Amino acid sequence: MAGDGTVSADPWREAELAGFLLPDQQAHIHERGWLKMLAPRAAGGAELPLPEVVRLEEAIAATDGSLGWVVTLCAGAGWFAGFLPPALARDIMAMPGACLAGSGAPTGFADIDGDDFLITGRWDYASGAPMASHFTLNAVLRERGEVLRDGHGKPRIRAFVVPARQVAREASWQAIGMRASASHAYRIDGARVPASHGFTIDAAHATADGPLYRFPFMALAYVTLAANLLGMAGHFVALAGDLVAARRQHGTGVPLIEVPTVAARLARTREELAADRAALYAALDSAWAAVVRHTVPDEVLLQRVSLQLVDTCRRAVDGLYPYCGLQAAREDAAINRVWRDFHTATQHALLLPD
């Protein structure tokens, strides 16, 4: 890294300009087995303990926001293999370059047609879409054109996994940040999908043994997303510290890092991030231990500490940004990319502030 904060021959800048993770970056992801780390061992996955996975995702996001996001979202979709018929899960994970991308919004329909489903719809924000071998989705069930409803009158929704050959990708991702995540939309027009490709994300319907598939889905989503924001925020704070150390206060010429209020803000930011990081992992480790013991984890606590951490990350990034100077506003500066990635990622629907 150059002294002014810019990066020469930065592969992550190159990926951002390309709008997708580069082939060697994708190859690295597959070589490390990151997309299979939550998939069942019986299906060819690593089935790592969740606390280990979340800490790794934080570290990956600290390297690059798009990289961390794609790994987290696609590995999270790989976790669904624990809810698929075992033979299908093995077939998917055995594919060279296996990668599941998808969307959770039920913006399509699955029409019952004998033993199959005909799926039609359009889904947004499939991170890692260009490298996906399969897409996951939620669809509203219909029979003979009528929406099927549950006992409360709500539309019945089912999750499906569909091979990429049956999916049309749409280059729709135009966000200011996370550009290399290539979180494009995708469309399916009447694809015939066997009933075996449908699944229910619930511990009672897990097809793989082990605590990983008893862990509550929403709690998993909160902690993995929070870890990504933490990784990006930590990266931003480190880069901001370098810029603050290189700047001088206007009018006095005193190094900005020696101005008491600035030094105190930087120290307080680091302390608050460390404290909330410790709280997140304490809650996660406790929840994991509970699931291992076949007891119920504290999902409310996991959601609360995750959102508290995200709020602290927001305040950390926004509080230090003004001290970084115009360098931080340059689009080709590493800190600017981290800033844009961070603020794009915080727009995820689950991360809305109270």
Per residue in 251-262, pLDDT (tens digit) is 898 889 999 999
Q: Where does the pLDDT of residue 119 fall: very low under 50, low under 70, confident under 90, or very high at 90 and above? A: very high
pLDDT at 353: 80
Q: What's the pLDDT tens digit per position in 73-96?
A: 999 999 999 999 999 999 999 999
Q: Calculate the average pLDDT of the chain.
A: 95
pLDDT at 8: 41
Q: What's the pLDDT tens digit per position in 322-350?
A: 999 999 999 999 999 999 999 999 999 99
Q: Where does the pLDDT of residue 3 fall: very low under 50, low under 70, confident under 90, or very high at 90 and above? A: very low
Whole-model pTM above 0.75?
yes
Q: What's the pLDDT tens digit per position in 273-300?
A: 999 999 999 999 999 999 999 999 999 9
The stretch 199-225 carries a mean pLDDT of: 97
Radius of gyration from C-alpha coordinates of the chain: 22
Structural domains in the chain plus CATH codes? 11-93 (1.10.540.10), 100-205 (2.40.110.10), 215-351 (1.20.140.10)
Please determine, for residue 153, whether its predicted confidence score (pLDDT) is greater than 90. yes
* Percent of the chain's residues with pLDDT above 70: 97
